[in-house]
Amino acid sequence: MRKFYTLLTLNLGSQMTAEIGEIRLPVSEAFYISIQNVRRRFTRVAITTASVTLGIAFFVSLMMMASFQAQTGGTGIQPYMYWLLFISLLVCGVGITNSMLIAVAERYKEIGTYKCLGALDRHILEMFLIEAMLVGGIGGTSGYIIGLVAAIVYAFANPAVGITTAFSSLTQPNPAVPLAGTMPVALGLLLLGIGIAVLLSLIATLYPAYYAARLNPADALRYEI
């Protein structure tokens, strides 16, 4: 297409081809816009983040409780727990997708405007995916904290475990924790929790972001909320 156009304009003796320059959105600028979106649309983002937070809190607390039990000779991590975790994260992912689709619908006009100002499809995609990463990061961190607190409360309230066992097991590796079995449980689950949160949020946002990026600017601008 480009080549054809070049030939055509050269034949016409126009200099437009030479004029066609670069269009770009540096990552730093996309990041800045996404951060502003997260800050200024706090309620919307908080709802999306809550979904991530709950999923990760469940994951972290379950893994920690199982680690405590393993140390006191209990059952430890059982296969059915992975099924539970899978389902909980799936529900959480659907929640994020739903919330992001609404975020896209709210911003139809804005997306149309970005495109009028020169944004390419991939710039729109990039902005939404960066936002998803931020949501994942924040949700993962807060989920970890809530999960940790829940696990400690559990240890405190359960005489068979006790607070001392809980702290000693948090600082030791538990090989049963997937992917992070060689790290102390507290650290391993922090990294794993944030990792899963970011990945989950990215995957769940992929469809809404792709949909937003493909919008025809004329249609996007016409949209009234």
Partner 1 sequence: MALRYEYTVETEDLAKYYKMGVYIVKALDGVNLKIRRGEYVSIMGPSGAGKTTLFNMIGGLDRPTRGKVYIDEVDISKLDAYELAWLRARKIGYIFQTFNLIPVLSAMENVMLPMIFAGVRREERIRRARELLERVGLGERLYHRPTELSGGQQQRVAIARALANDPAIILADEPTGNLDLQTGLEIINLMRQLNKEKGVTIVTATHDLKMIDVSDRIIYLRDGKVERIETRAEIAVEAEEF
* Residues at the contact surface with partner 1, assessed by CB under 8 A: 1-2, 4-5, 8-9, 12, 14-16, 19-26, 29, 33, 36-37, 39-41, 109-110, 112-121, 123, 216-218, 221-222
Residue 71 and residue 36: Cα distance in Å, rounded?
45
Identify which of residues 71 and 113 has a Cβ nearer to partner 1 in the complex: 113
d(CA 165, CA 41): 43
Q: Least Å distance between CB 49 and partner 1?
A: 17
Residue nearer to partner 1 on the CB measure, 112 or 143: 112
Q: Which one, 15 or 43, has the nearer CB to partner 1? A: 15
Considering the complex, what minimum distance in angstroms separates the CB of residue 20 from partner 1? 5
CB 208 within 8 A of CB 101: yes
- Report whether 58 contacts 88 (CB < 8 A): yes
Task: Name the minimum Å distance from CB 71 to partner 1.
Answer: 48
b/e map 118-155, b = 16+ CB within 10 Å: ebeeebbbbbbbbbbbbbbbbbbbbbbbbbbebbbebb
Q: What angle do CA 104, 90, 173 make, to 5 degrees?
A: 120
Least distance (Å) between residue 28 CB and partner 1 = 10
The residue (of 30 and 180) whose beta carbon lies closer to partner 1 is 30
* Comparison of 74 and 118: residue with beta carbon closer to partner 1: 118
Spatial contact of 22 and 159, defined as CB atoms under 8 Å apart? no
Based on CB atoms, which residue is closest to partner 1, 36 or 172?
A: 36
The tokens of 143 are what? 């989920």
Output the smallest distance, CB 215 to partner 1, in A.
Answer: 11
- Structure tokens of 101? 């689709």
CB of 163 to partner 1, least distance (A): 45
Contact 43/102 with Cβ under 8 angstroms?
A: no
